[in-house]
Amino acid sequence: MLIDSHVNLHAPQFDADREAVIERAFAAGIDLMVNICDRVSNYEAVRRVAEHPQIWCTVGTHPHEAKEDPDLSAFRLVELAADPRVVGIGETGLDFHYDLSPRDIQARVFRAHAAAARETGLPLVVHTREADEVMAEILEDEYAKAPFRVLMHCYTSGADLARRAAALGAWFSVSGIATFKAAEDVRAVIRDMPPDRIIVETDCPYLAPAPYRGRRNEPAYLPHVLAKLAEIRGWSLAEAEARTEDAFFAVFDRVPRP
């Protein structure tokens, strides 16, 4: 089973041909997808995509958008997560590369998501960029209050943060970045990820894998990500598919396994 754990099919880049993109995904063998919420104010658009029986969704606010709702509460996230089509909290986290929201607001909104993950039992879908030490400290502090599941989405950060997140039982998702020629540092971290806690994603419409780099990404390109993961880890394609499938249903356990 091929599962794209992180798509943004509600994005405007798909407005002209969304249904065709979804059909191409199914034709390429993608069995399930998780449509990721970029901000709570956009949840309805995210949720509409999850009307497809093979597509699920999350609820949350990306760190870029944290300034839109600096007082976002865990209560609001928990309320929306009562929808049975919601299978995760996020995407949330810290992005100190673009700093599109003030860092203190990013951290406050991130902690609200962690609280919601604790309360709902749903996995926290984490975005992190150039914030390794602060991210590790917040994750460890929040986890100490009570455990919750963590998914480090599209992981491209350092080995130390990966080690500290893995110590909390985190899962990691691999994206098309792993196929980029200059991404050997990313591949080095992938080699050391816990083998039973790796899943795959496209993060479409962004980060198209080779040989499609520079084009709009879509779920149909996921097999290229899986093939690169298999190569990096020394797995057969069948083993990579089985391992990532098992890991997906372990972290996203609200999704019924066929």
pLDDT score, position 241: 98
Q: How many residues does the chain have?
A: 258
What are the structure tokens assigned to 55, written together? 């597509």
Confidence tier at 237 by pLDDT (50, 70, 90): very high
8-31 tens-digit pLDDT: 999 999 999 999 999 999 999 999
Residue appearing with tokens 């080690």: 163
pLDDT score, position 176: 98
70-106 tens-digit pLDDT: 999 999 999 999 999 999 999 999 999 999 999 999 9
Query: What domains sit in the chain, N to C, each tagged with a CATH number?
Result: 2-251 (3.20.20.140)
214-233 tens-digit pLDDT: 999 999 999 999 999 999 99
Whether 132 contacts 157, CB under 8 Å: yes
What are the structure tokens assigned to 32, written together? 């399930």
Confidence tier at 125 by pLDDT (50, 70, 90): very high
Whether 148 contacts 117, CB under 8 Å: yes
Percent residues over pLDDT 70 in the chain: 100
Helices marked H in the chain — which ranges? 18-27, 43-49, 74-81, 103-120, 132-145, 159-167, 184-191, 222-233, 237-251
Provide mean pLDDT across the span 163-179: 98
pLDDT score, position 1: 93
192-213 tens-digit pLDDT: 999 999 999 999 999 999 999 9
* CA 132, 199, 226, 127 torsion-angle sign: negative
Confidence tier at 188 by pLDDT (50, 70, 90): very high
Whether 240 contacts 160, CB under 8 Å: no
Calculate the average pLDDT of the chain: 98
Confidence tier at 141 by pLDDT (50, 70, 90): very high
pTM of the model: 0.98
pLDDT score, position 15: 98
pLDDT score, position 181: 97
Percent residues over pLDDT 90 in the chain: 100
147-161 tens-digit pLDDT: 999 999 999 999 999
